Chains A and B, each alone.
Chain A
Amino acid sequence: MRILLAEDEPKVAQHLRQGLAAEGYAVDLAMDGDEAIWLAKNHPYDVMALDVMMPGKDGFTVVRQLRREQIFTPVIFLTARGEVEDRVRGLDAGGDDYLVKPFSLAELLARLRALLRRQRPQSFNVLRVGDLELDLVAHTARRAGREIDLTKREYTLLEFLMSSTPNPVSKTAIVEHVWDQHFDSETNVVNVYINHLRRKIDRPGSKSLLHTLRGRGFAIREDEP
């Protein structure tokens, strides 16, 4: 997968580049809007992650210009501006998703995967880890063919964990992805939901799939960490 990353802040760009490369993405970096347009016009990308506030042309202008030139590569905006009006402007400009800084790398990766899934055939609509299956269209989960009854929140949590597999996701990333409200760090909401989910997925006698990785978060994978 080839990704165009446009970010003028060198440190953010460097960390994102490393994180994306570690996930197997081939990353091209643009430091301003004009460079992003030039790269996008001259190379085929699977997805683009664009900072909004960049020198030269801002992210919205870049996307508008690319769409005018019939380049419809999916775009996710990365920005410090998280107001509703800003999001609406971004999506109206032709963006496909919007992520507000500071964000977790796991969150960015999950959203990139979701963007890519929309471009791919139906087989990508089912996530699998071992004998655990999550149908993203029917919103159902099965383990060894047996349907698991999940609440809306548990489904979102499981989807996030499975789309990040085998990598772990931190508690912070989970709170940000699953809930639209901030939970005080003193509350234990993630652990509570993980316990509920674990009871439903890892029934007695079946292999444990949902693992707690001390200091790193939680992961769904077949092998023990």
Chain B
Amino acid sequence: MKNRRPRRRSALIRPLAIVLALFVLGLTYAALQPATQSMADGSKDQIAAGKALFTQNCSSCHGLNGEGTSQAPSLIGVGSAAVDFQVGTGRMPMANQGQQAPRKAGTYTSDETAQLAAYVASLGTGTSTPDSGQYNPAGLTDEEIARGGELFRSNCSACHNFEGAGGALPEGVSAPSLQGVEAIHIWEAMRTGPGQMPVFGQNTITDEDARAIIGYLTSVEAEPSGGLSLGGIGPVSEGFWGFIIGIGGLSLFAVWIAAKGARAK
């Protein structure tokens, strides 16, 4: 238990802790990749290491030079952000061929991910992995975070649900849950549009807006609730649990009330 008063401070503690962690993470990234813009170039060594990894693990689907095959799309010009997202969230390499790659524990270390990203970035210009200043929600005011909520509900909640729990799309595809996704990956998904997701470009959702959206998501996850959230998927689960706990539980009481009970003989 912890005291959250004053409200303003308390609500910021958790996001701040996360932000701090993200900041450290960002620093690690920054240390690995000196500058985002130049990252497209990457160091010679990095690209070489990335190419080796790529040839070994990715080329069977994406082609020897990332030109794509009938099984997987071309990676020329997708940029390092797409690679960081796909590999960093464990979506790539895919466990098995399917319509949609799920998030899972990553196969590669962050070093290896960066090498792969550098290699793919060298194939053609695309969106680069961001600076922490582009996605890190630290330092946002309450009003900015609230505006992030408005942006989230206008642009994202239709697919990803009001608290980011995810939702259904046609033909077996689904919009994944955003809970517990790292800030950088949310930014990268918006910019690169993985899978069926459309792109949300820098000129319509600026980095300021993206940070606000990420800030909102981080804060809303930390927001205390009025009891168990029952999956956070709205009235369907509420109705379900209402029947199970409410009607079910009260029926058990009713059985007890009407039961004759043990007799002495």
Q: A and B, one complex? A: no
Residue positions of B touching A, CB distance < 8 A: none
Give chain A's interface residues, CB within 8 Å of chain B.
Answer: none
